[in-house]
Amino acid sequence: MHTTFTHASPADRVLCPALRERIMTADQAASLIQSGMTLGMSGFTPAGAPKAVPQALARRIEEQNAHGGQFRISLWTGASTSAELDGALAKVHGIERRLPYQSDPTVRKEINEGRMQYVDIHLSHVAQYVWFGFLGHLDVAVVEVAGILPDGRLIPSTSVGNNKTWLEQADKIILEVNSAQPAALEGMHDIYYGAAVPPLRKPIPMVHPYDRIGDPYLHCDLDKVIAVVPTQQRDRLAGFTAPDADSQRIAQHIIDFLQHEVKVGRLPPELLPLQSGVGNIANAVLAGLNHGPFEQLHAYTEVLQDGMLDMLESGKLATASTTSLALSPAAMERFLADIDRYRSRVILRPQEISNHPELIRRMGLISMNALIEADMYGNVNSTHVMGSSIMNGIGGSGDFARNAYLSIFMTPSMAKGGNISCIVPMVSHVDHTEHDVQVIVTEQGLADLRGLAPVQRARRIIAQCVHPDYRAEMTDYLERALRDAPGKHTPHLLEETYAWHQRYLKTGSMHAAAPVPRVRAA
Amino acid sequence: MHTTFTHASPADRVLCPALRERIMTADQAASLIQSGMTLGMSGFTPAGAPKAVPQALARRIEEQNAHGGQFRISLWTGASTSAELDGALAKVHGIERRLPYQSDPTVRKEINEGRMQYVDIHLSHVAQYVWFGFLGHLDVAVVEVAGILPDGRLIPSTSVGNNKTWLEQADKIILEVNSAQPAALEGMHDIYYGAAVPPLRKPIPMVHPYDRIGDPYLHCDLDKVIAVVPTQQRDRLAGFTAPDADSQRIAQHIIDFLQHEVKVGRLPPELLPLQSGVGNIANAVLAGLNHGPFEQLHAYTEVLQDGMLDMLESGKLATASTTSLALSPAAMERFLADIDRYRSRVILRPQEISNHPELIRRMGLISMNALIEADMYGNVNSTHVMGSSIMNGIGGSGDFARNAYLSIFMTPSMAKGGNISCIVPMVSHVDHTEHDVQVIVTEQGLADLRGLAPVQRARRIIAQCVHPDYRAEMTDYLERALRDAPGKHTPHLLEETYAWHQRYLKTGSMHAAAPVPRVRAA
């Protein structure tokens, strides 16, 4: 079923005659974008993000604004993107409003200095909100693809994200056709075309993570395509550092826990489909699973990172469903070397499917996500630093945590060389409530919170997860709250819930300056 | 299809010979319950809660503990129950652990004084957690039914709740057969028997709120039934006060908003299925809808209260799906007088179906729920008073708010005669995060938060929802936070986030003692 492309020029990936006529440079394409427009761009991590038009647009914005212009656009994507996209546009202060997720340092700075409006949305909600008309009008889609067939069908790139929605909802379309993306991706995608708006929705016909329910190609109205820009550049993704000792301990606690759950019959021996968040801890857990006791695993996740490729290679992981193939360059080489074997085992889907509550709940995922801070009652902050500053965003963590079979949150017990305790009396922002957090794990240990009332949760989290450096002070807070708070269900002393955060902001450390006072019996 | 019961004695509702042999008194049945057991009881509101065995059990507990015993049980239900169940057992300090919801003053006191462990769970999660083995072993089910057919099938009562799960998961079953419940309920229920545990789950085959996908009867293993207790007592539900002026204003804001959404094409003229929380504001909104412009509405909700019956009577509401028929005595009389007409229009379902994320999202509900407090950034507290004390619980509000098409939260702008502002700088407990709250409405106005960043949300909530008595002080807080907070995304001053709550706890009022200081430009 694979298309044969010649390699005479980058434009050879554009087999559709009508679209060949619309080939132009990135600068020409960017000149079609006007200030005030809303753009829907591809990209879920740097994977599959457009490589040329955003930078050309940044140049256009910089130039116009250098001459007194006020050129700004609104930017919607799948999730985070790349320095060439988010970074370039933020550097010229070109983004007015951003959603649904970001992780770029310049974007973060723009948001936290109050120059960019950031709307932090569950990743599964984005496409439907656009279809419902809740987020306003989409002017232009800028979508990277790996090739265009003669009839205009599009071979998706290394991520799918919201591309189907952008292509269908935008007035106009700019396609980047990236001939550095493997043509062999063809056939790996599964674009679900059964979505609808209520009251016309039907059940999504998926029961296994490896079910194919859609089409391998993206479709678009060719008349809407105003530009086709050939590019030739691989995704630039960072590699991973080898797991450190703390991450390895976290991984081991999780594996021990999963083994115990299998032993007592609460999980089948082959577990349930795995969802894993991004980052070094997640990769350490995957490395642990890759050397662990479980076989014939499946992944149903939003980002396929190096750790999962290792598991596909070893055979521990039978199949993986994702919306983003976010491999480091070295891992991508290994992936491509064996792509014909992986094509039947890896599926790339739209993010409203990879993150769909209906499917996550039906298939019963084991969800593992990182956090910024948790509190002793089990509330989780995934987004804010010290209550006010955004880090990245909630991403898909809410889609998974709320609907998973098992919802696990993991973090080192401390950050900033011990000056921050990642477990605090009360989180400074809540993204996952006490109702949605079943397991918290640090290098210290794992707290299974299922079926516990708040004070029981606090005692278990303090005993299992909090670093010894902070344990006495947190115990002291809990005991004094139990004694003095007006209610004993979730006892808090409102005048000092954020004392640790305030101390950090003031002194650079959450550590108490003076020795922790011992609580007297009430 | 209706069964004919004689009325010679209460036991005449028990047509199954094997079960007739197990008829006994409530005290005899209660004697089969031992200390330390976990009981799964029927009841979702007082509707369908057992009427006799809980009180007999309370007597047994009181007697045993008067002689030095430590008799306590764990209690699982559908949601809240009645004074005769929760109240009676709490009064004798007989409940060790309670889930998933309560609204009884004695239970609340036990929890907030630290004598009862309360686990506050999304109502759609309860049944599956029991099936997964996450909450421990269920010893005895105590379930009210309206009758038992000759072959042992059970006619469910006025609520379904978790009864299917209790009957299937418990070791032993005690049935209360309540001959005061209308025999004409037969045929109104729809018990879905297609549920499974992952990885065996299938799509739930429902696309309209009025689809029937199950069986009108509950089934159980007759060998597990250890007692059948005839009772004859109607559910005791409170009536509603006539909507006050504030509730009517809230209702009008919502109706205006829905009309606007229809006008701009974001809702169909017949809207989408309605979910309405419980209480006087909810009933006022339903009264408003009953005199409003919308026709041929459908409800997909967890509790059918008087306001919805009015709409069924007027024809504004075509059909209603619920897990609880929580009508006041007067409304129940009207319902029964016309029950043959309602049987095809009202469906009673298990709560894992009435509250299922898959179905709520698919059908695109308009969800309307009350709250305790919201904050200026759009986080909602549905459960806690001043951060530490439980009020009732999250109930189904999370199931609906997260998955609805439109998620509306409503509250008067002030409580306690103006001494509490229901909108605060930061909520003292989070049950619905900024990511899940689309609309907040008070009698002051309606804040549509869709697509807004945090500071934009704050400005809109302050302008539209906050009572003028608190508006200046909240604006002052926002402006100072924008000036002084380390990040401008969700600016907070951590040293005074709970100043209003602390003031209330100290003085009985959130009102500032001194005039609100004006902010100077930064």
- Per-residue pLDDT in tens (0 to 9) along chain A, 522 residues: 578 887 767 789 999 999 999 999 999 999 999 999 999 999 999 999 999 999 999 999 999 999 999 999 999 999 999 999 999 999 999 999 999 999 999 999 999 999 999 999 999 999 999 999 999 999 999 999 999 999 999 999 999 999 999 999 999 999 999 999 999 999 999 999 999 999 999 999 999 999 999 999 999 999 999 999 999 999 999 887 888 999 999 999 999 999 999 999 999 999 999 999 888 899 899 999 999 999 999 999 999 999 999 999 999 999 999 999 999 999 999 999 999 999 999 999 999 999 999 999 999 999 999 999 999 999 999 999 999 999 999 999 999 999 999 999 999 999 999 999 999 999 999 999 999 999 999 999 999 999 999 999 999 999 999 999 999 999 999 999 999 999 999 999 999 999 999 999 999 999 986 444 444 443
Placement of tokens 């189904």 in the chain: B396
Average pLDDT of span B416-439:
98
CA A226 to chain centre: 30
- Name the closest residue on chain A to residue B203, using Cα atoms: A203
Q: Nearest chain A Cα to B450, which residue?
A: A134
Measure the CA dihedral B505/B510/B514/B516, to 10°: 140
Residue of A nearest to B385 (CA): A487
For residues A220 and A173, the answer to whether their CB atoms sit within 8 Å is yes
Q: Is B394 on the interface with A (CB under 8 A)?
A: yes
pLDDT at B255 exceeding the cut of 90:
yes
Closest-CA residue to B274 (of B227, B322, B237): B322
> A424, A375 in Cβ contact below 8 A?
yes
Q: What share of chain B is helix, strand, coil (3-state, %, to 5)?
A: 35, 20, 45
Closest to B215 in 3D by CA, of B235, B229, B195, B200: B195
Q: B129: which chain A residues are within 8 Å (Cβ-Cβ)?
A: 450-451
Which member of A111, A364, A387 has the closest CB to residue B199?
Answer: A364
pLDDT band at B6 (very low <50, low <70, confident <90, very high): confident
Cα–Cα distance measured from residue B63 to residue B19, given in angstroms and rounded to the nearest whole number: 29
- pLDDT of A512 reads 82
Q: Which residue is closest to B132 within chain A, CA to CA? A: A266
Closest listed residue to residue A380, CA positions, set A413, A346, A428: A428
Contact flag A203-B201 (C-beta cutoff 8 Å): no
Taking the model in full, what pTM does it have? 0.97
pLDDT at B125: 98
Q: How far is CA A358 from CA B155, B403, B516, in A?
A: 30, 10, 48
d(Cα A61, Cα B79) in Å, to the nearest integer?
Answer: 56
Q: Give the torsion sign (CA, A337, A340, A342, A348).
A: positive
- B306-314 and B280-290 helices, crossing angle to 10°: 10
Task: Dig out the tokens for A167 from the structure.
Answer: 């292509």
Distance CA B430, CA A337 (A): 49
- The complex's ipTM? 0.96
What digits encode the pLDDT tens for the residues B283-330?
A: 899 999 999 999 999 999 999 999 999 999 999 999 999 999 999 999
The type of residue at B369 is N
What is residue A1's predicted lDDT score, i.e. its pLDDT?
57
Distances (CA, A) of B208 to A201, A237, B359, B360: 9, 45, 9, 10
List the single residue in A388, A482, A491 with the smallest CB-CB distance to B492: A388
User: How high is the pLDDT of residue A513?
Assistant: 61
Selection from B421, B430, B418 nearest residue B466 by Cα: B421
**Cα(A177)–Cα(A348) distance, integer angstroms:** 18
Give the three-class secondary structure for B358. helix
- Output the pLDDT for position A520: 46
Inform me whether the C-beta atom of residue B95 falls under 8 Å from chain A C-beta atoms.
no
Give residue B522's pLDDT.
39
Which uninterrupted H or E stretch holds A428?
none
**Using alpha carbons only, how large is chain B's radius of gyration in Å?**
24
- Rounded CA-CA distance B325/B339 in Å is 12
CA distances from A307 to A274, A310, A372, B402 (A): 12, 5, 22, 31
pLDDT at B513: 61
Closest CA to B45 of B158, B183, B177: B158
Residue of B257, B433, B438, B459 for testing the chain A interface, max A β-carbons within 10 Å: B433
Q: Which of residues 120-149 of B touch A (CB under 8 A)?
A: 120-122, 125, 129, 132-136
Indicate yes or no: CB of B492 within 8 angstroms of CB of A387.
yes
Among B391, B450, B490, pick the best mutation site for testing chain A contact (most A Cβ within 10 A): B490
* The residue type at B475: T
Which of B154, B135, B144 is closest to B75 using CA atoms? Answer: B135
Catalytic residues of B: 302
Q: Check CB contact of A111 with chain B, cutoff 8 Å.
A: yes
Span B399-408, average pLDDT: 98
Angle (deg, nearest 10), helices A306-314 and A329-337? 30
Amino acid at A318: A
**Tell me, what's the pLDDT at A5?**
86
Q: What is the pLDDT of residue A516?
A: 42
By CB atoms closer than 10 A (0-12, 13-18, 19+), residue A340 is exposed
- Pick from A395, A81, A78, A236: nearest CA to A58: A81
Minimum-distance CB partner of A205 among B125, B203, B456: B203
pLDDT band at residue B515 under the 50/70/90 scheme = very low
A interface test, pick of B363, B435, B448 with most A CB neighbours within 10 Å: B435
CB-nearest partner of A430 from B201, B379, B403:
B379
CA A436/CA A379 separation, integer angstroms: 8
Query: d(Cα B365, Cα B408) in Å, to the nearest integer?
Result: 11
Nearest Cα to Cα of residue A394 among A371, A417, A418: A371
The two tokens of residue B488 are: 């401008």
Q: Min CA distance, B207 vs chain A (Å)? A: 6
What is the interface size between A and B, counted as CB pairs within 8 Å?
Answer: 246
First CA to last CA distance, chain A? 75
Inspect the interface and report whether the beta carbons of A358 and B363 lie closer than 8 Å.
Answer: no
Query: Can you tell me the distance from the alpha carbon of B329 to that of B333, in angstroms, rounded to the nearest whole number?
Result: 6
CB contact under 8 A, A405 and B111: no
Please give the pLDDT value at position B351.
98
Q: Is the pLDDT of residue B520 over 50?
A: no
- CB–CB contact A129 B450 (8 Å): yes
Please tell me the predicted confidence (pLDDT) of residue A521.
43
Note whether A114 contacts B455, CB cutoff 8 Å: yes
d(CA B158, CA B343): 13
Q: What is the mean pLDDT of chain B?
A: 96
Bridge partners of B439, per DSSP, are B408, B448
The answer to whether A114 contacts B482, with C-beta atoms less than 8 Å apart, is yes
Kindly state the tokens that stand for B27.
Answer: 């005290």
B118 → chain A, closest CA residue:
A453
Report whether A214 contacts A349 (CB < 8 A). yes
pLDDT at res. B1: 57
Chain B residues within an 8 Å CB radius of A198: 272, 362-364, 405
Kindly state the average pLDDT of the residues B108-136.
98
Q: Cα(A121)–Cα(B436) distance, rounded to whole angstroms?
A: 9
**Min CA distance, A21 vs chain B (Å)?**
37
In this prediction, residue B279 carries a pLDDT of 84
DSSP for B267-313, written as a single string: S-TT---EEE-SSHHHHHHHHHHHTSS--SEEEE-SEE-HHHHHHHH
The enclosing H or E element of A308 equals: helix A306-314
Element (H, E) at B145: strand B140-148
What residue in B sits closest to A100 (Cα-Cα)? Answer: B451
**Rounded (5°) CA angle A292-A297-A298:** 140
**Contact yes or no for A482 and B388 at CB 8 A:** no
| Cα four-point dihedral sign B47, B48, B50, B52 | positive
Q: What is d(CA A307, CA A327) in angstroms, rounded to the nearest whole number?
A: 9
Mutate to test the interface with B, among A74, A138, A213, A388 (most CBs of B within 10 A): A388
Judged against a pLDDT cut of 60, whether residue B265 lies above it is answered with: yes
Grouping H, G, I as helix, E, B as strand and the rest as coil, residue A491 is coil
In chain B the first and final C-alpha atoms are separated, in Å, by 75
Q: Which residues contact A158 (CB under 8 A, 6 or more apart)?
A: A47, A48, A146, A181, A185, A235, A324, A325, A326, A348
- Which tokens go with A366? 């084991």
User: Which band of pLDDT confidence, cut at 50, 70 and 90, is reported for residue B278?
Assistant: confident
Residue B516 has pLDDT above 70, yes or no: no
Q: Which of A84, A186, A302, A352 is catalytic?
A: A302
Residue percentage of chain B with pLDDT more than 70: 98
Task: Please tell me if residue A394 touches chain B, with a CB cutoff of 8 Å.
Answer: yes
Q: Is A303 exposed, middle or buried (0-12, 13-18, 19+ CB in 10 A)?
A: buried
Structure tokens at B483: 């000036």
Please indicate if any CB of chain A lies within 8 Å of the CB of B76.
Answer: no
Dist CA B452 CA B521 (whole Å):
24
Q: What share of chain A is helix, strand, coil (3-state, %, to 5)?
A: 35, 20, 45
